[in-house]
Amino acid sequence: MSSKRPAAVQIREVGPRDGFQNEPESIPTPDKIRLIEMLAAAGYKRIEVASFVRPDVLPQLADGEEVLRGIRVPADVELMVLIPNTRGLDRALAVRDTFHAASIFVSASETHNMKNINRTVEQTLADDVGMARRILAEGLKLDAVIATSFGCPYEGKVPLDRVLGIAERYAEMGATEIGFGDTTGMANPAYVADFFSAALERLPGVELTAHFHNTRGQGLANAYAALEVGVDSFESSFGELGGCPVPVGSTGNIATEDLASMFEEMGVETGLNLDAVIAAAREAQSVL
Ligand code: ZN
């Protein structure tokens, strides 16, 4: 057994946000609530449940407040919401007692960031400083996510130093967890190993989370590569729901069922009841 492989990992379920937002039709609020509660019962300790994007841009997630108010999960389940901008933060803080962690984000690639949220990376990071302060002042956990960390569909390879430089700025803002997204599935296992080895060295004390996409079939191989260099925090989507809306058609979150079963068979604990995750995935398919 490799010396850096962790004995246990955390898996955050992102299907209720990353997944539902990429479905063509909106899922009725009561179904979302029921599915999130099924996921919590499957053993997840972290679930991303809502995004406060403008409702006209993402009608699929317009019911964030209602979902948050409706869900009943055990006290040790951390609920996370995605915050795109200060208006989204205002909306989230109006229901502040319904969740535990707030996630702010940027794309490492200038072009992807512009196409996704219509701001430069520097403008985004400048806004994020103020948002981070407000999130921390509320006693919430601050997460940051860096999209296109392993490559950009428009710019190609994104320099490692650029990505880790952004990560260091988020750490300075007070983020205790930083997620690295392979937004369009461009990572490969060798690069992932180099990337996370460097990241773990440069960001001591910060939890580093790997979020891979299966666009080119390399999602699980990348997760394995990250695990072997010591990464113990992952994100995935039950039933393989979702992906990324920019560019259109680039889907492919790795399936939680696949990720968790790989880890469990390797002797790495996930805390998940696989049968219950699969049952929730089947239930989601029947709703969609
Ligand atoms: Zn994703």
CA of 212 to the centre of ligand 1 (A): 7
Per residue in 131-163, pLDDT tens? 999 999 999 999 999 999 999 999 999 999 999
* Mean pLDDT (the chain, rounded): 94
Predicted confidence at residue 252, as pLDDT, reads 84
Upstream peptide bond of 189 is cis (omega within 30 degrees of 0): no
d(CA 7, CA 20): 31
Catalytic residues: 244
| Greatest Cα-to-Cα distance within the chain, rounded to the nearest angstrom | 50
CA of 19 to the centre of ligand 1 (A): 8
d(CA 41, CA 225): 29
pLDDT band at 247 (very low <50, low <70, confident <90, very high): low
Q: Which residue has the higher pLDDT, 243 or 40?
A: 40
Q: Are 22 and 53 in contact (CB under 8 A)?
A: no
Average pLDDT over residues 222-235: 98
Has residue 250 got a pLDDT over 70? Answer: no
Q: Are 12 and 209 in contact (CB under 8 A)?
A: yes
Portion of the chain with pLDDT greater than 70, in percent: 96
Predicted confidence at residue 20, as pLDDT, reads 85
N-terminal to C-terminal alpha carbon distance within the chain: 41
CA of 140 to the centre of ligand 1 (A): 23
Predicted confidence at residue 110, as pLDDT, reads 97
pLDDT band at 249 (very low <50, low <70, confident <90, very high): low
CA of 147 to the centre of ligand 1 (A): 9
Per residue in 21-51, pLDDT tens? 877 778 999 999 999 999 999 999 999 999 9
Residue 46 half-sphere exposure toward CB, CA atoms < 13 A: 21
CA of 243 to the centre of ligand 1 (A): 4
The pTM (predicted TM-score) of the whole model is 0.95
213 beta partners: 253
Predicted confidence at residue 248, as pLDDT, reads 56
CA of 22 to the centre of ligand 1 (A): 10
Predicted confidence at residue 243, as pLDDT, reads 62
Quick one: which of 128, 126, 123, 117 has its CA closest to 86?
Answer: 128
Per residue in 94-108, pLDDT tens? 999 999 999 999 999
Residues, beta carbon < 5 Å, ion ligand 1 = 18, 253
Instruction: Please enumerate in sequence order all residues whose Cβ is within 8 A of that of 198, keeping only pairs 6 or more positions apart, or say none.
Output: 160, 164
Q: Which residue has the higher pLDDT, 242 or 217?
A: 217
Backbone angles phi, psi at 208, to 5 degrees: -105, 125
Per residue in 170-217, pLDDT tens? 999 999 999 999 998 999 999 999 999 999 999 999 999 999 999 888
